[in-house]
Structure formats: C-alpha cells, structure tokens
C-alpha cells in the first residue's frame, strides 16, 4: 500500500489527491527540480518543535544557498525571491491565505496541503469549507502554487512533524504598518487571510472568520 493509500485510509472524511494528479493543475504545477541539497539544509536549520508550527520568511542558511539563486533564475522569472520554511506540527485547516505572487513549496517531508480558489469566496468574503481540496505533496517534490490558490500551513503526515520550504517574492509576509491598513483581510505584506470561524485564537487576534463548515483535520499515518 502506498503512502497516499495509507493516508486516504486514515482519512475517509476527505478525498486526498496527489499533486501529481491532473486534479492539482488548477491550483499549481509540479516542478522538475533537484531539491536534495536544500532539503538537507532545511532539516539542519529548522529543528522540529515539540508542539505547534513555525514560519520564517527567509532563513539565511536556505536563502543564501546557490540552489536558491538557481531557482530564482529558472522558475521565478529572475525576481528576487525569499526562501524560508514552514515547519512543525499541524493537522487542521484553521485558515487560508493568498498573495499576489505565486509561491514555491518543497516537500522536505511528506505533507498535505489544503487548498481552495479565490473565486470560491463569496461576496461577503466567506468560504464554504466544502470547497477545500486536500493534496498530498510527497517528500522531495517541488511545486508552484498559483497566486489565486488559497493555502495555509501544511498538515503533517507523520507525528514526527513536517518541513515545507517556502519561496515567495521578497518582503511577502513581513509586518505591515497598522496605520496604513485599509483592508480587513490584509494581515501582513502581500498576505490576505481568512480564518475558520472555529479558530477562536486567530479570530480573537483580529482575523476575519471567513471559513465556515468543517475545520478539516488530517489524521497522521505514523
């Protein structure tokens, strides 16, 4: 039984596709890249915490690798990208965000991405969680996530946690000046976010409760 088949067996509540299937094509694209060196550096630079997840926009050990500049040239239109990481423990949908630029992800471990499209958000800025689809990103695979794809922290496949390299236009996700904030969904530079209405921590911290329905949970397989 493959890892994806095991994962689906543990999660009958939601259909889980692979990013290698055609179902992923509206959300992003798979990139044929050598990611071994960056994956190995990520594991060294980002030890898994005992609980919770972490995100850093640009981690010097990763951002300054020769591979980062190669990716910028080959896949990012020669733009200045920042290469950071999201890592740790997470099993729930909890929220969704988007940017005006595409995002690059490397599965340094197996993980699941919960995705939707901006066009699924209604006129009131709300999203039915039934519009969300789950995608398995295997370890060692790099993808490009389109700018109109809603995404957030990956879900772990193993209780040991997850690592996901994140490449974005430099400056994305940095702090914004609250005095200049005019959009209720803008939570950081080039980052718009809606939280699941059941995610009380984020809502109490000011996030718009824009997702209703099931707060999808992905059960681990080991």
CATH code of 205's domain? 2.60.120.10
Does 17 map to a domain? Answer: yes
pLDDT tens for residues 20-72? 999 999 999 999 999 999 999 999 999 999 999 999 999 999 999 999 999 99
Does 220 map to a domain? Answer: no
Does 35 map to a domain? Answer: yes
Query: Helix or strand or coil: residue 124?
Result: coil
- CB-CB contact of 97 with 193 (8 Å): yes
Return per-residue pLDDT of the chain as tens, 222 residues: 899 999 999 999 999 999 999 999 999 999 999 999 999 999 999 999 999 999 999 999 999 999 999 999 999 999 899 999 999 999 999 999 999 999 999 999 999 999 999 999 999 999 999 999 999 999 999 999 999 999 999 999 999 999 999 999 999 999 998 776 778 899 999 999 999 999 999 999 999 999 999 999 999 998
Range of the domain at 65: 3-172+181-212
Cα gap 15→203, rounded to integer Å: 28
Does 26 map to a domain? Answer: yes
Please tell me what DSSP assigns to residue 47: P
Cα gap 32→162, rounded to integer Å: 21
Q: Which two tokens stand for residue 79?
A: 């733009």
- For 97, half-sphere exposure in the C-beta direction (CA atoms, 13 angstrom radius) is 20
Overall number of domains in the chain: 1
Cα gap 162→209, rounded to integer Å: 26
Does 206 map to a domain? Answer: yes
Orientation angle between helical segments 66-75 and 36-45, nearest 10 degrees: 130
Does 193 map to a domain? Answer: yes
φ/ψ (deg, to 5) at 182: -115, -10
Does 217 map to a domain? Answer: no
Does 218 map to a domain? Answer: no
Cα gap 165→153, rounded to integer Å: 11
């Amino acid at each position: 039984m493959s890892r994806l088949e095991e994962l689906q067996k543990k999660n009958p509540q939601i259909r889980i596709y692979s990013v290698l299937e055609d179902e992923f094509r509206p959300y992003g694209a798979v990139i044929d890249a050598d990611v071994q060196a960056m994956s190995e550096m990520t594991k060294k630079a980002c030890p898994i915490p005992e609980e919770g997840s972490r995100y850093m926009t640009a981690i010097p050990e990763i951002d300054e690798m020769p591979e980062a500049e190669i990716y910028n040239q080959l896949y990012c239109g020669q733009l200045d990208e920042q290469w950071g990481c999201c890592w740790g423990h997470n099993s729930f949908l909890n929220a969704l965000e988007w940017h005006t630029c595409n995002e690059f992800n490397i599965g340094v471990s197996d993980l699941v991405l919960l995705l939707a499209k901006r066009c699924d958000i209604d006129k009131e800025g709300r999203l039915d969680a039934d519009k969300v689809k789950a995608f398995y990103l295997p370890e060692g695979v790099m993808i490009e996530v389109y700018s109109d794809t809603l995404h957030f922290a990956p879900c772990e496949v193993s209780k040991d946690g997850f690592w996901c390299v994140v490449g974005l236009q430099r400056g994305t996700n940095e702090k914004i000046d609250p005095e200049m904030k005019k959009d209720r969904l803008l939570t950081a530079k080039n980052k718009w976010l809606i939280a699941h209405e059941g995610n009380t921590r984020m809502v109490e911290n000011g996030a718009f409760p824009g997702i209703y329905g099931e707060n999808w949970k992905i059960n681990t397989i080991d």
